[in-house]
Amino acid sequence: MIKSNYTGLRHGPINSFIRQDNMQQLNPFVMWDHFQLNSTQTEAGFDFHGHSGIAAITYVIHADLTHQDSQGNVTKLPTGSVQLLVAGAGALHKETLTSQDGHFEAFQLWTALPKNIEMGEARYQGVSSENLPIIKELNTSTKILVGEYAGIKSPISHIIDMNYYHITLSARGANWRYAPTPEQDSRFIYVLKGGISISGERVATQQLITIDNAAMLEIIAETDNSEFIFVSAASLAQPILPTGPSVHTSYENAQIGQQNIAQLLKTMMK
């Protein structure tokens, strides 16, 4: 059931779990970052910077989020919200987190884009927390960030075939069962709080756990109020070439993306 597990590489408030040595195995996922910060300030974030060839999904656990991008979008979202930026051939964005108690927590997940659209137009979508469906079952709740669960779809519309859930198990012994679609052959779990076991094997918090193609996934809470993230997607049959803030299928596309980002920065500085 469990294929492998990865410990993050911390740099400042960010713990990064997907790197060049495991990127091919996790295709189409090319970044999974957990941002955590306790500060005396009420604001944190990242100034304008550029990407190309990827889609960035930001999920804010604790803090409000203000988004700005080179497409002219300016959006303010409360804690618990999700946004999707498809960078395409090049886009700039700025993310500002606001927290009244100085605690900040968020995730950013990048996916590669299919070869036929990696150099397409950039687009953005933000969905507030109250508009994200939550499916409540016995001692469990499943928040649908992207994709579909139990016939219910998230408002977020991604280009690739994927599911992204935040699951809460309220009591020890609570059981979450899920039959992944065979097409979504790239899968991982990340434990946020408490403890869980997968087919009897206990999983530590803040580790990225890859899952094989078992027909049924069964997860049991080892403690009260356990929380974990489940993500799955169909792998992309194409080269994956990371170049810092961008990922492409060829160095030619990467160069074009870099040029487009430079031009956007130049335009913004005028």
Binding-site residues, in ranges, read 49, 51, 93, 95
3-state helix, strand, coil in the chain (%, to 5): 10, 50, 40
Distance, CA of 248 to CA of 233 (rounded, Å): 18
Is residue 28 reached through a cis peptide bond, with omega within 30 degrees of 0 on the bond before it?
A: yes
Residue 262 gets which letter from DSSP?
Answer: H
Instruction: For residue 190, give every residue at least 6 positions away whose Cβ sits within 8 Å of its Cβ, in sequence order, or none.
Output: 17, 32, 34, 206, 207, 208, 209, 228, 229, 231
* 101/171 Cα distance (integer angstroms): 28
Binding-site residues for Fe cation, in ranges, read: 49, 51, 93, 95
Residue 228's φ and ψ, nearest 5 degrees, are: -150, 160
